[in-house]
Structures are given as C-alpha cells and as structure tokens.
Structure 1
Amino acid sequence: MADVLSQSEIDALLLALDSGELKPEEITNEEEKQKVKLYDFRSPQKFSKDHIRTLELIYDNYSRIIANYLAAQVRTTVKVNLEYIEQTTYEEFMHSISNPTILNLFKLQPLSGTLLFETNQQFTYQIIDILLGGKGEGVYKTRSISDIDRNIIMKINQALVAHLKLAWSDVLSVEPEFEGIETNPALNQTLAPHEPVVLITLSVEIGKNSTFLNMCIPYLSVEKILDKLVFSYWYQESDENDKAETQEKIVENLNKVEVPINVLLGKSQISVHDFLSVMTGDVITLDTKCDDPLKVLVDNKVHYIAKPGVVGKKLGVQVISVNNEEVDGDD
C-alpha cells in the first residue's frame, strides 16, 4: 500500500514544485527506480530464498561439526563460522579462488555430478605445520605440495567431506564419496562457465590465523531434490517420521502390559447358611454343562469364547471365537 501524505507534506511538495526546487520528472524517475529491479539473464536465480535458508541451516550445523573435528586433530581452539551463501556462476567461482589452491572433488549421493570443496594453501599449510609439530603461526609462502603434504591433507579433507553426511542428515540421507584433489583450478572444467552454482563460504580461525573455505554446489546436482530443500517439506517429513516412530513405541510398550485373564466355568446361587456349611468334598451345581463353551474374561470383560480341555498335565481352554462386540465397544 502506498504511503499516505499528510496535509503539511502535500503543501511542502506543492511549494517545492512551484518554486522550481523539485521537477515532476525527478518524482517519476524516483518511483521508477523503486519499481524496477535489475536482473541478469546470463545468470538466472534458480535457488529460491527457501532453498538458501535451508542450506544455511545445513552448513551452519556443518561448521560446528568440523570445528570439533579440527580442534581434536590440531589440539587447539578452532572456530568455524558460516559467512555467507550466494548464487553465482561456475566461472565467477573459479575466478574468485586463488591459484594454486587445494580443490577437493567429491560426490554426494543422491546428488548428481561432482561437487567442489576449496581449502586454500594458507589453511592447508597451517594444518600440516601443526600436525608435524609446529606452532601453526605466521604467513605461509606458496610452494608446491610434496607427496607427504598431499597424503596428510587428503586424510584431513576426506574427513571434512565425510562429515557432510551428519550435517545433511536432518534434511536428506547422503553418502559422501571423496574422489581426489586438484592444485590448479584452471584444469578443472567440470561445468559450463555460466552454469549456476551456490557458493558456501566458511571462515576458519586457528590460533591467530584466519582463512576461508569455499564449497561449490552446482544447480544440476540439487535439481532433483530441490523440493526437499523447502521448509514445509522438511518439517512435514520430519513430523511424519516422528509420528510413525511414536506409534511404534506406543505399540511396543502396550504389548508389554500384563492383563488378568480369567475363565468363567459357570455360576451358582446358594444361601448364606449353605455357604457357611460348605466343606471339602461338597459339590456345588453350576448353571452350565460340562460341554458348554466357556467365557474368557480379560480385565473382567468377556473377550473370547472357549472350550475346556487338558494341555499336558494342566487344565486349559481353546479359543473358538472372539467376542467382537465387546472388543469394539472397548476400543
């Protein structure tokens, strides 16, 4: 709804128009600037706000998970924070990272294609320095990676990729698969230059040094599961799973409940005088015959009809029908 001007504001506007301080064209241009929004058709926005918001929750959780992992590896305080998530193109992502760098290639089933995880050399050499007994301080010069460096960093990066399984678990069950590393981003041409991707940037602070990690997820990889990145679907699926799990637990607990079962052989009425004079060996006549079906009571209510018999050396009954009316009434 448009803003409503007060009478004093209207008078001031008319006065400015009359004096020439404000021109009608300027008002029109200002309104057009507010209505028109720039849009680059070369890089269409394929990720909605809901998709970005869900990814923020996933990777905010991921930042805490890998912070605990890295702290356990380097035996010092590690802070990892999610800085931002934005949509860009594959070409812009490749231009934004340094060369050389450590570019990890991995898959994340059921997402299709190859995903990229960039851990720059400052982060890499600091981790290697600490693991090999150094303090992990200062600025590290760019140099070629030796075979020992490669083996150490591959072990660390494989674990970083593996922890994505836990970070995604609330939204989707994924299976990370580490493929390898590249040191020259220019040699990695897995996507078209203008292919839309989502760029996830994490800041890592180890000691006095701070650096960034970048993860690139192509739109083609998440296209088939975009509906699962929407809040309504996420919570609906979570509620359904919780409901089914709750029902199973209720049934399991109810099955453990013990209920009394009695078999009614028959009934008889006697006087108080006869009752007081009953002795061992006396016979009380019931209102049923020996071959009549018996009533089986569960919690003092008739649920089954049975016939008497012998099971081994013990007396027993065999259920011949279910008293459905009584059962349905109880339900």
Structure 2
Amino acid sequence: MTALPVRDPDEGTPRQTRPNAAEAVPYDFRRPTTLAREHARVLELAFETFARQWGTQLTAKVRVMSQVSLVSLCMQAYDDYVSLLPATTTMVLCETPGSGAKAKAVIQFPAAAALNWISHMLGSPGPSDIAERKFTRIEQTLVRGLMNEALEDLHYSLGTLLERPLSVDGITHNSQFAQAAAKSELVIAATLRVRVGERSTVASIALPAELLLPQLGDADTGPADGDTAGLLAQHLSGIPVDLALRLAPSAVTPGTILNLAVGDVLALPHPTHRPFELSVDGRRLGTAAAGTRSGRIAAVVVSTEENPA
C-alpha cells in the first residue's frame, strides 16, 4: 500500500507527502490497493488539472496569489487514509446525489489554513498564528462557498471519470469520527500543497474508488500474445552487469592481515598457467585468460560453465 503520510510541523497539516525514493514502502498483499500504471497516470493528469483550477479560483476569491500543486496520489483503504490525518482537522464531507454510493468524498485541510483564507477574503492580511478550532456559523458559510466552487472545478477536471457532480453534505473537525466510508472501503487519495500568499499547507482529497474505477476500464495486464516470459528475458538481456576476472582466493589469518606492511608479499594459490575465473556478482561463469585488444587489457574466454543457482 502506497503511503501518503507526514505532518507539516509549521502548519499542523496532515501527515502526507510523496514517499522518499530511498525508503521501502510497505505493501499489504491481503488487500492489494495499487493502481494500475495507466489508471494512475490518467488520475494524476486529472488532479493536476484540478490543482491548477483550484489555485486560480482561490486567487480570485481571497485576492491573494495562490498556488495548488499535486504532491502524491494513491489508492488505499479509508481507514488507512484517516489514521494518518491529524485528530483535529477540517473534513468537508461531500455526497453524489443520485449515484447510490454510500461512501462520501472528503476534502481535508487544517482549519487554521481555512481561517487564513477567510481573513484574506474579508480584507485582513491574515492571522499570524491561530490554533485549530471549529468554525463559527459565518466562517462555515464562507468555507462552504469555497468548497462548492472547488467541487465544480473537481468535476470539470475529472470529466467523464466522475459522472455526477459532488455537493457539500457537512463539515466536521474530528477525522476519527467523520464516518465518510466503511473502514475497508477503497478511496482514491490525492495530497495537495496549497500556498496562499506566504503561507503554505497540505490538503487532501479522498474519493470513493467505486465512483472512478468503473470509468477507467480494465487495466492492460500484459501483452496480447501472452509472451510475458519472452519479453521479460528480452528486457533482462539488456541490463548492464559487472563482469570480473579473479584469482583463486587465498585463506589467511587475521594476524596476517593486521600485520601487513608496505613491501610484504602474499603467496596466492593461483598457478601462473591457470586461466582466471570469469564471474558476475561472485558467481563463476567460466574461465578466461588475460590478453590485450586495441591497446587495452582484454579477457579471452577459455571455457564456460552452467550455473543454475
């Protein structure tokens, strides 16, 4: 399962970002939730379009230069999505009237960020620092207006992937009790970086997978002729590997190693007339003799060996 999470220490934002390329990402084979590559690409393009549209809409509404960018996208269980959010945050629950779907879509962002947006809308430069809290009735009305316009942008950006438009059903401030979907319900979760003026925060959108996957169609699972093994062998044959010539190993004691000095001579058990061992990643493939070619040291293969291991 691809994970989104990390907390933004400056904004108290949801713990979500793109996984580090050097880190292993856990995957639960009991609940395979990985998007097919072609499906992921289609959704990424749609959410990137939405990010640009939402940024433009925020700029017009709050009258401050705003920018929204897509950070990451994945499919995961709703319980996994919610468990990685702050306990206190803004959860805008959205429904699709007439779709028959029980699960609700979610737009999530810190309340402090929304209060900053509202302050700009009302002509204030924005609060310097504010704690997470519930909205007043007036603030909730203004946030609903912003979210309704954002949902219009989302419906436009997803196009035929989202058959029916979404509408705001309610706003809650406790992520653990939002109950937008069943724990095992799959959602398409997108993480967004929202910058309004000098302040930046992280928001997320979770859409029930059942609303989008039917329109994406079946994934291309492989070549039509079924020659998967042949294609795999073809790709593997072009991967560069390190080929080495080595002498027969010599066993020495730790004392010998510790007492080595410049000028010492170590006797090797490799006879001068025997070819070198030809190996890849420590596995012997055969033997080769040292030679030259075009002014460079070369190896002349003398024999090859089968090495099924």
* Bucket of the pairwise TM-score, normalised by the shorter protein: 0.5 to 0.7
The SS at the match of 2:166 is: strand
Matched with 1:55 is 43
- TM-score, normalised to structure 1, is 0.53
The alpha-carbon distance between structure 1 residues 39 and 208, as it changes in their structure 2 partners (threshold 3 A), is: closer
The aligned amino acid for 1:92 is: D
Q: Deviations over 1:240-268 (max 9, x none)?
A: xxxxxxxxxxxxxxxxxxxxxxxxxxxxx
The aligned amino acid for 1:219 is: A
Q: Deviations over 1:285-320 (max 9, x none)?
A: xxxxxxxxxxxxxxxxxxxxxxxxxxxxxxxxxxxx
Unmatched tracts of structure 2, length 5 or more: 1-24, 221-309
Between the aligned partners of 2:172 and 2:26, the Cα distance in structure 1 is: 36
Unmatched tracts of structure 1, length 5 or more: 1-36, 231-331
Q: 1:68 aligned to 2:70?
A: no
| Backbone CA RMSD of aligned residues | 2.5
Between the aligned partners of 1:131 and 1:209, the Cα distance in structure 2 is: 15
Q: Deviation at 1:63?
A: 0.7
Match of 2:181 among 184, 191, 197: 191
Q: Deviation at 1:172?
A: 5.5
Between the aligned partners of 1:216 and 1:222, the Cα distance in structure 2 is: 11
- Given that 1:46 and 1:219 are in contact with CA atoms closer than 8 Å, whether structure 2 keeps it comes out as no
The alpha-carbon distance between structure 1 residues 171 and 87, as it changes in their structure 2 partners (threshold 3 A), is: closer
Counterparts of 1:128-147 in structure 2, within 5 Å, are 128-136=118-126, 138-147=128-137
Q: Deviation at 1:59?
A: 0.6
Between the aligned partners of 1:223 and 1:69, the Cα distance in structure 2 is: 27
Between the aligned partners of 1:38 and 1:85, the Cα distance in structure 2 is: 16
Between the aligned partners of 2:56 and 2:27, the Cα distance in structure 1 is: 41
Match of 1:104 among 92, 112, 125: 92
- Given that 1:54 and 1:229 are in contact with CA atoms closer than 8 Å, whether structure 2 keeps it comes out as no
Q: Deviations over 1:6-64 (max 9, x none)?
A: xxxxxxxxxxxxxxxxxxxxxxxxxxxxxxx9741243125211111111000100011
Matched with 1:152 is 142
Q: Deviation at 1:116?
A: 1.1
Between the aligned partners of 1:38 and 1:74, the Cα distance in structure 2 is: 40
The SS at the match of 1:199 is: strand
Question: How many residues were matched structurally?
Answer: 194
The SS at the match of 1:67 is: helix
Between the aligned partners of 2:189 and 2:202, the Cα distance in structure 1 is: 12
The alpha-carbon distance between structure 1 residues 111 and 65, as it changes in their structure 2 partners (threshold 3 A), is: farther
Between the aligned partners of 1:91 and 1:172, the Cα distance in structure 2 is: 23
The aligned amino acid for 1:114 is: K
Match of 1:202 among 192, 195, 206: 192
Of the structure 1 ranges 195-204 and 53-62, higher mean CA displacement relative to structure 2 is found in: 195-204
The aligned amino acid for 2:31 is: S
Between the aligned partners of 2:70 and 2:86, the Cα distance in structure 1 is: 20
Q: 1:77 aligned to 2:65?
A: yes
The alpha-carbon distance between structure 1 residues 38 and 202, as it changes in their structure 2 partners (threshold 3 A), is: closer
Of the structure 1 ranges 139-148 and 70-79, higher mean CA displacement relative to structure 2 is found in: 139-148
Q: Tell me the percent identity.
A: 22
Q: Deviation at 1:222?
A: 2.6
The alpha-carbon distance between structure 1 residues 39 and 149, as it changes in their structure 2 partners (threshold 3 A), is: closer
Q: 1:219 aligned to 2:209?
A: yes
Matched with 1:127 is 117
The aligned amino acid for 2:115 is: Y
Between the aligned partners of 2:156 and 2:42, the Cα distance in structure 1 is: 15
Counterparts of 1:1-331 in structure 2, within 5 Å, are 39-108=27-96, 112=101, 113-136=103-126, 138-169=128-159, 173-227=163-217
The aligned amino acid for 1:154 is: R
- TM-score, normalised to structure 2, is 0.57
